[in-house]
Amino acid sequence: MTRWLGERIPERAGHISAGATYGTLYGVTKTTVYLDSDIALALRQMAEAQGRSQAEIIRQALETFTRNARQPKIPGIGEFDSGHTDTSERAEQILRRAAKRGRWR
């Protein structure tokens, strides 16, 4: 989870406006994303309507997308047929035998 540590900056002449907050985002990486103008406009409007930052909306959307995305298949899985239907139940036994024979380390 991202944590925001910030503090209020007092008003000073020629300084950042009164009550501005500054701080550091821990556990995140800054990146740049190029958006089509219609998507950028929709994002700006959504952020304003929801009272959230554009960055917060983008982070939430990407988190949801990556969580729901299909994970890539491990190479070789499902590509071969040993003719056995109980291989997963016998996995530890098979690996023990292979290790004893020096075929697997």
Predicted confidence pLDDT, tens digits, the chain (105 residues) = 444 444 444 444 444 454 555 566 678 788 899 999 999 999 999 999 999 999 999 999 999 999 888 777 777 777 778 888 888 888 888 888 888 887 665
Residue 7 is assigned to a structural domain of this protein: yes
Q: Per the structure, how many domains does the chain have?
A: 1
Residue 90 is assigned to a structural domain of this protein: no
From the centroid of its chain, how far is CA 53?
A: 18
Q: How many angstroms separate the CA atoms of 37 and 16, rounded?
A: 29
Give the Cβ contact number of residue 33 at 10 Å: 9
pTM of the predicted protein model: 0.47
Residue 58 is assigned to a structural domain of this protein: yes
Determine contact, residues 43/58, Cβ cutoff 8 Å.
Answer: yes
Q: Domain residues for 27? A: 3-68
Determine contact, residues 5/22, Cβ cutoff 8 Å.
Answer: no
Residue 87 is assigned to a structural domain of this protein: no
